[in-house]
């Protein structure tokens, strides 16, 4: 089951964390995977790319060499799959169109899109929310997913088959204290995903949304220990999830077996969204 042999997947924000796990899981299921990210190890302008992203986390990851796009692509090729690591700024519409056209030309199809690229480092109560970072979060988290979906859509329509997965968050449905821009954009992604499920239904395209909870990514491990402990205690299973827990859900949603699942929000949160006491 869940055989993705012959399918070509594009994952945005694939250099680390959830994106990297998604890339590897899709490849293990048989897909050829294009790893895209605004940060690529061999990019001579890597530091400038991190700075231009207006992301403190991107700059920290760059300085600490937590950028694995090309390494991930190499691991995928070692599995016997085709792969490439491509620099991609999801807010740059022209670049998105060019990259997706290159994927179609060089790999023959574009079957799966995982909209994973996002920012999550803007944390402040409303009176202290930074207006520029609010706009950045809209551009990356929401408009970035729109840009990539629009670019991939024509290829999926032409072939009469496609899988689009959007990465939301439990913050989208529960809200997030000090996370107004993140929660709002992730909630909007749910609306985008459901709309695409409706539009794609007549063309063999499904669209679903995954809402992770507390997942032990590199970013989560950088947060304060006391905060991490509180978040785990808020989770029914009393543990953080692993990136692979999210990735396996995405593999299912992209598989032929999920042909009758579309427009759904799949929460992968260990019961974080339940009443816990």
| Residue 182 annotated to the active site | yes
Distance CA 271, CA 251 (A): 21
Put the strands of the sheet holding 205-212 in their side by side order.
83-87, 32-37, 8-11, 112-115, 162-167, 205-212, 265-268
Paired tokens of 173: 């449905």
Q: Which of 68, 155, 166, 182 is catalytic?
A: 182
The C-alpha atoms of residue 223 and residue 178 are separated, in whole angstroms, by 14
Beta-sheet strands, E only, within 180-264: 205-212
Are the C-beta atoms of residues 41 and 146 closer than 8 Å to each other? Answer: no
Nearest CA to 147 out of 110, 181, 97 is that of 97
How far is CA 172 from each of CA 99, 157, 182, rounded to the nearest angstrom?
29, 29, 8
CB of 38 within 8 A of CB of 88?
yes
Q: Which residues pair with 83 in a beta bridge?
A: 33
**Residue 41 structure tokens:** 């190890």
- Would you name the residues annotated as active-site residues? 182
């Amino acid at each position: 089951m869940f055989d993705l042999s012959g399918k070509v997947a594009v994952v945005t924000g694939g250099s680390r964390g959830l994106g990297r796990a998604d890339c590897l899981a899709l490849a293990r299921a048989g897909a050829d995977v294009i790893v895209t990210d605004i940060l690529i190890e061999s990019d001579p302008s890597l530091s400038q790319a991190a700075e231009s992203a207006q992301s403190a986390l991107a700059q920290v990851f760059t300085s600490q060499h937590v950028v694995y796009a090309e390494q991930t692509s190499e691991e995928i090729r070692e599995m016997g799959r085709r792969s490439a690591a491509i620099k991609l700024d999801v807010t740059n519409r022209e670049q998105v169109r060019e990259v997706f056209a290159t994927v179609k030309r060089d790999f023959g199809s574009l079957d799966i899109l995982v909209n994973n690229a996002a920012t999550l480092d803007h944390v402040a109560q409303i009176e202290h929310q930074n207006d520029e970072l609010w706009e950045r979060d809209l551009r990356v988290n929401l408009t970035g997913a729109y840009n990539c979906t629009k670019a991939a859509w024509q290829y999926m329509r032409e072939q009469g088959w496609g899988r689009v997965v959007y990465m939301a968050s439990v913050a989208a449905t529960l809200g997030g204290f000090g996370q107004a821009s993140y929660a709002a954009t992730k909630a909007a992604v749910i609306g985008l995903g459901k709309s695409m499920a409706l539009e794609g239904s007549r063309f063999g395209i499904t669209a679903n949304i995954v809402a992770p909870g507390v997942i032990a990514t590199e970013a989560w491990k950088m947060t304060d220990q006391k905060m991490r402990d509180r978040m785990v205690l808020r989770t029914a299973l009393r543990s953080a999830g692993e990136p692979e827990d999210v990735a396996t859900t995405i593999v299912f949603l992209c598989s032929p077996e999920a042909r009758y699942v579309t427009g759904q929000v799949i929460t992968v949160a260990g019961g974080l969204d339940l009443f816990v006491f």
